[in-house]
A and B are shown apart, each in its own frame.
Chain A
Amino acid sequence: MNFDMTKPIPDMQPWSAGFWEGTREGKLLIQTCGDCGSKIFYPRKYCPECWSGNLGWMQASGNAKIFSFSTAYSMVEPKFMDELPYTVAYVDLDEGIRMMTRIVECDPADIKIGMEVEVTFFQRGDFYLPYFRPAKK
């Protein structure tokens, strides 16, 4: 069987380019609305709260807590098999944003809900995916 083994890169949109440019510089950016002050995730063309196009970016601290996680051992797409086991998580940034990520640089058995984590960037092609690792005390 011929599986596509290409690792997927983010399906970037023009209005999310700033986010991915930030990751190349080691910055985790949050889109903000200049009119209503909303913090927006994921980045949109217009503010989902007030439909303003006056959008900008703020740098997040990179600190977060794990809201939930699931460690994969099997039954993922063939293109991800070589990375097993891996842990996918929802993390809540200190700035009030929830995002999907990977938890890395630790034993999956040590991962807990509520655990403090910090951002680290993982290169895939021309992109740097925001992963998280246990926060250094």
Chain B
Amino acid sequence: MSKGNIAIIGIGEVPTGTYPERKPWDIIYETCMEAVRDSGLHKNDIEGVVAVAPQAQPRLSAEISFGKLPEELGLKGCKDTVICNAGGASTSNCLRMAEHWIENGIARAVLIPHVTVHSTIPIPELVNFFAQAGVDLQWEYPFGSTYNIIMGLIANRYMHETGCTAEEMASVVTALRSWASRDPNSIFYKKDVPSVEKVLSSELLNSPLHKRESNVLGDGGCAMVVVSAEDAKKMKRPAAYKLGESVRYFSGSPVLRDFRKVGEGFKSTAKEAMAQAGIRKEDVSIWNIYLAYPLAHPIMAEALEVAPPGQAGKYFLQGRMSFGGDIPWSTIGDAVGRGHTGSGVSAATYVETARQLMGRAGERQVKNCRYVYQNTSGGSGFNVIATIWGREVK
């Protein structure tokens, strides 16, 4: 028996990029109005707003936290609003809150917006925020750790244990960018897809991470409208139904994160979410992975048993996860393809999940897309939330 309680019935999104002239509220208006219109509902049908917390933007975060969004958009039917912050896992929690409100009669239709504008944040503030977020200020930060270095520690160990090569790791970027180059909302839309050689010839930031294996910060935003699965069916519109979910917490500080426990968590949450959805691994049409860094993707591919142990790098190098490959994987290209919008890449990934299941992904559309696995992860990887979405309730 699948979960099947809620469905995404409307989506809106703006291109990710560096657009300092595009204010946060420009994005909120544009994405929310597009999502509501796309759902076929009237703005006053929105009874709840659950917003993804923007990272490193305290003023905007406070405005949204304290209820400005429904007022600004004139959502006359809104009964309540709240913001969720779990870093990259925020959107999953927004969907959970929407599910709770819908199941308990608090709201019939819930709007979930995300907005981030990095380009107008003073660079010293941005650098300092990302240096301290998700790391321990006593046991990690004083040693000069960064997100890039934490990723380097993970990747070096994985390569040591599996024999995965630098070329194989670099090919993950090629795969992810092959999807991003076909995504009108990507910062790399219509840009050349870098070869393995080009990735490896970029500056080594910290071993084994090259510049092209790290993320470009961008501005962006999106919105979703969520209703009950029952209402979605009655509306007879293309929708993405939530069919299964499972989660594991690992640790807040990277140093306390047990690598094996993380791998097992990736594996068991996927199995539990699929079991809840009543599907098998073979039924999954797209593995829509959000991990922020490309170097973590082979670890995930092996944990999900999409690739055998130690073979994921080869799969990427062979182009199996690239656009046109036989394993549709991260069809917006994760953060390295889309451009990093703080907590927003996971929101964009959910929008892509819905878009694919609605059959509206354009050139990236995966044929006969029936079920999508999507994960999120917060902070520097404190948890994993696995979800299964379908184009109908089983």
- Which residues does A use to contact B, with CB under 8 Å? 1-4, 7-13, 16, 42, 67-78, 80, 83, 86, 88-90, 98-102, 108, 113, 124, 127, 129
Cα A112 to Cα B3 with chains together (Å):
47
- Residues of B137-155 contacting chain A, CB below 8 A: 137-146, 148-149, 151-155
Q: Which residues of A contact B207 (CB under 8 A)?
A: 69-71, 108
- Determine whether the beta carbon of A11 is less than 8 Å from that of B205: no
Cross-chain contact of B124 among A3, A16, A90 (Cβ < 8 A): A3
Interface string of B121-136 (1 = CB under 8 A from A): 0111001100100001
A17 to chain B minimum Cβ distance, whole angstroms, is 11
B387 to chain A minimum Cβ distance, whole angstroms, is 30
Closest to B258 in A: A98
- Determine whether the beta carbon of A70 is less than 8 Å from that of B131: no
- Residues of B245-304 contacting chain A, CB below 8 A: 253-256
Cα A102 to Cα B160 with chains together (Å):
19
- Compute the total of residue contacts between A and B using a CB distance below 8 Å: 114
Cross-chain contact of A76 among B144, B151, B211, B256 (Cβ < 8 A): B144
Closest to B208 in A: A70
Cα A88 to Cα B28 with chains together (Å):
40
Q: Tally chain B residues at the interface, Cβ within 8 Å.
A: 40
- Determine whether the beta carbon of B149 is less than 8 Å from that of A72: yes
Cα A108 to Cα B204 with chains together (Å):
14
The A interface is mostly helix, strand or loop, or mixed, namely: mixed
- Determine whether the beta carbon of B145 is less than 8 Å from that of A88: yes
Q: Which residues of A contact B208 (CB under 8 A)?
A: 70
- Which residues does B use to contact A, with CB under 8 Å? 122-124, 127-128, 131, 136-146, 148-149, 151-157, 160, 203-209, 211, 214, 253-256
A19 to chain B minimum Cβ distance, whole angstroms, is 9
Q: Which residues of B contact A78 (CB under 8 A)?
A: 127
Q: Which residues of A contact B151 (CB under 8 A)?
A: 70
B155 to chain A minimum Cβ distance, whole angstroms, is 8
- Determine whether the beta carbon of B153 is less than 8 Å from that of A2: no
14 A-B pairs within 8 Å (CB atoms) are namely A1-B124, A42-B138, A42-B255, A42-B256, A69-B156, A70-B151, A70-B206, A72-B148, A72-B205, A90-B153, A98-B255, A99-B255, A100-B140, A102-B143
